[in-house]
Chain A
Amino acid sequence: MLKKLDEIRTIIANEPVKKLVLAAANDHDSLSAVLRAAKDGIVIPILVGDKEAIQNIASSYGYDISDLRIVHEPDTEKAVEIAVKMASSKQAEILMKGKVGTSTLLKSVLNREWGLRTGKLLSHFALFEVETYHKLIAVTDVAMNIAPNLQEKIAIINNSIDCLHKLGIALPKVAVLGAVEMVNENMSATLDAALLSKMNQRDQIKGCIIDGPLAFDNAVSVESARHKGIKSEVAGDTDLLLMPDIEVGNVLYKSLVFFAKAKVASVILGAAVPIVLTSRSDSEQAKYDSIMLATAVSRKQQ
């Protein structure tokens, strides 16, 4: 059981160091995080972008990058294409977004000829370290899928379960979030939750224990669940919170960061390699932790 994001370091400690390609690497925030991770021996970076700009940024942070592989490509779209191709041809095991818009990066990732499609749904996975919870808690999907239907929710759960297994959580507890813990025909999230629970019981979704609907309080608090008389293996001990839609997810994400001062690492799952796609508003530390998370995720299934 992990309590702090930094403990991911111990998971990857005995692994061969992974190669990370940074697309459009001439970007202050992401480059500094990558270089710090490289210095700590977490990744071997490949930097694709405007070489001069990359070197200037690196030296402004006091890094000597003369030993690093840099692919000079001043055009952003081309730089992204090169980076994605490196990942699809297995020259790199992690892809990270630099100074490029998310839509441009994803367009390349989804390219049918040389992209990183696997047939799986792409989903966003965020892992939080919150002081008031007894372990790390994952939240999905707060950034990619807007209003997932049942099939998409199954895909999102499967992506996340695979990731949690790689973090050493053998049987993750998944809470399907609703506004209430009761089934209500007028709240479709509660109906999907009931279906997902039953599919889990029937082994149609494996490798985890799913319960829902659970309201946020009974998902994360044993006392609250007990108070409501809910009998559940998941309630109060959730590893993964499945969001009903992006609005709920995004607000929860941001409230954890801003109000609960949570630390977060996030990664895009479902592509041939994990993708670090942090936003500009994420702290440098969040980017660093996300790189660490991606490294753990890029390991072969144990």
Chain B
Amino acid sequence: MIRTLDEMVDVVLSFRKKHRLAVAWAHDNNTIEAVGNAVINGLAEAVLIGHKKEIIRTCEAESIDYSIFTITESKNEITASQEAVSMVKTGEADIVMKGLVSTDKFLKAVMDKENGIMKPGAVLSYVCAVQIPSYHKLLFITDPAVIPFPDLDQKIAMAEYAIEMANTFGIEKPRVALIGASEKISRHSENSIHYAVMCKMAERGQIKNCIMDGPLDIFLACDRKSQELKQVDTPICGDADILLFPSLESCNPFYKGLMLFAGGELAGLIRGTSKPVVLMSRSEKKKSKYYCIALACLLAERNI
């Protein structure tokens, strides 16, 4: 079982094959630094797509030897995104990564019906493995980045992605806490209704490989003492592996708070695609960016 993000890196470094990143419009120092770091440490290989001159200039400014990359010329950010996606489709690369291109343009290429890499009928979402010194294990959270207000089907997909990722880390039956402000069901809270339905689906085997409960607040999900105090009968037992949030606006500040105030690190990835897609915020820590790429390699190796 992978218990920390560094253990995950070790697992990736032990792979025989080095996975290849196709980076769309790798024009900014931020992207080049992150990719360079991964390549130099032997995590992955990289193809940088964009204006060759600009890429080389940026590498020099960052004091990175550009010869460690394969550089491919492309006209603009849109064609660069399309080419990056097409490279993983043809098998020339294993992972797509976003460079200095806006998220919506980048995702348009990923989600393109004919040339994109979405799994048929899949929901596009985001799962993040978060490591915080104050919690006794990795915490997988969803969705901090893609779906603003998930409906029931989207929540089910989010849960399944997070479960699948936890499985990849060797957690066979992760404990999934469906996060709300209270543990009660209320007809005024659509989320609580969705959660009750999902719990029953998990009980009936319609959502597999997990122990699910919700609504639960974060205390009940992650703190055993709270459970004893509140006397809520939940199989999560303050030992959650996965936190599913009701909205992007609750999940995103949660993880950013952990990064900023709780010394957290993360590894996050787009889900719903047939190949791993790395999409991360520029303000992410250097180490977290490294972990994101490592996570993409792990999933590429396992082919999920």
The interface of chain A, by Cβ under 8 A from chain B, is 150-151, 181-183, 185, 191, 193-195, 197-199, 201-202, 204, 213, 229-231
Residues from chain B with Cβ under 8 Å of A182 in the complex: 201, 204, 206
Contact A198 B185 (CB under 8 A): yes
Task: Please tell me which one of the listed residues B196, B204, B232, B233 contacts residue A195 in the complex, with CB atoms under 8 A apart.
Answer: B196
Residues from chain B with Cβ under 8 Å of A198 in the complex: 185, 195-196, 199-200
Known pairs A193-B200, A197-B200, A198-B195 / 7 extra A-B pairs, C-beta < 8 Å: A150-B187, A181-B204, A182-B206, A194-B196, A195-B197, A197-B199, A231-B203
Is B160 in the interface zone, CB < 8 Å from A? no
Would you give 7 A-B contacts (Cβ < 8 Å), ordered by A?
Answer: A181-B204, A182-B204, A183-B206, A194-B197, A198-B199, A198-B200, A204-B184
Is B121 in the interface zone, CB < 8 Å from A? no
Assembly CA distance A198 to B204 (angstroms): 13
Contact A183 B184, CB 8 Å, known A194-B197, A194-B199, A202-B232: no
Is B183 in the interface zone, CB < 8 Å from A? yes
Task: Please tell me which one of the listed residues A151, A193, A213, A229 contacts residue B205 in the complex, with CB atoms under 8 A apart.
Answer: A229
Residues from chain A with Cβ under 8 Å of B203 in the complex: 231
Question: In the assembled complex, how far is the CB of residue B214 from the closest CB belonging to chain A, in whole angstroms?
Answer: 9
Assembly CA distance A229 to B196 (angstroms): 20
Assembly CA distance A201 to B236 (angstroms): 14
Assembly CA distance A230 to B205 (angstroms): 9
Contact A151 B232 (CB under 8 A): no
Is B34 in the interface zone, CB < 8 Å from A? no
Assembly CA distance A191 to B232 (angstroms): 23
Query: How many A-B contacts at CB < 8 Å in the complex?
Result: 47
Question: In the assembled complex, how far is the CB of residue A102 from the closest CB belonging to chain B, in whole angstroms?
Answer: 30
Question: In the assembled complex, how far is the CB of residue A185 from the closest CB belonging to chain B, in whole angstroms?
Answer: 7
Assembly CA distance A181 to B153 (angstroms): 19
Question: In the assembled complex, how far is the CB of residue A39 from the closest CB belonging to chain B, in whole angstroms?
Answer: 49
Residues from chain B with Cβ under 8 Å of A199 in the complex: 185, 196
Residues from chain B with Cβ under 8 Å of A231 in the complex: 203
The 9 closest A-B pairs by CB, nearest first: A194-B200, A198-B196, A194-B197, A195-B196, A183-B201, A199-B185, A183-B200, A194-B196, A198-B185
Q: Which of B225-255 contact A (CB under 8 A)?
A: 232-233
Is B193 in the interface zone, CB < 8 Å from A? yes
Q: Which of B168-189 contact A (CB under 8 A)?
A: 183-185, 187
Residues from chain A with Cβ under 8 Å of B200 in the complex: 183, 193-194, 197-198, 213
Residues from chain A with Cβ under 8 Å of B183 in the complex: 202
Residues from chain A with Cβ under 8 Å of B206 in the complex: 182-183
Residues from chain B with Cβ under 8 Å of A213 in the complex: 200
Question: In the assembled complex, how far is the CB of residue A225 from the closest CB belonging to chain B, in whole angstroms?
Answer: 12
Contact A197 B204 (CB under 8 A): no
Residues from chain A with Cβ under 8 Å of B201 in the complex: 182-183, 194
Task: Please tell me which one of the listed residues B152, B185, B193, B204 contacts residue A230 in the complex, with CB atoms under 8 A apart.
Answer: B204
Residues from chain A with Cβ under 8 Å of B205 in the complex: 229
Assembly CA distance A144 to B152 (angstroms): 32
Contact A183 B187, CB 8 Å, known A229-B205, A231-B203: no
Assembly CA distance A181 to B232 (angstroms): 26
Assembly CA distance A195 to B201 (angstroms): 11
Assembly CA distance A194 to B196 (angstroms): 6
Residues from chain A with Cβ under 8 Å of B197 in the complex: 183, 185, 191, 194-195
Assembly CA distance A204 to B153 (angstroms): 26
Measured CB to CB, the nearest residue on chain A to B185 is A199
Residues from chain A with Cβ under 8 Å of B204 in the complex: 181-183, 230
Residues from chain B with Cβ under 8 Å of A201 in the complex: 233
Residues from chain B with Cβ under 8 Å of A202 in the complex: 183-185, 232
Most buried by B among A191, A198, A201: A198
Residues from chain B with Cβ under 8 Å of A230 in the complex: 204
Assembly CA distance A204 to B185 (angstroms): 8
Assembly CA distance A183 to B195 (angstroms): 12
Measured CB to CB, the nearest residue on chain B to A230 is B204
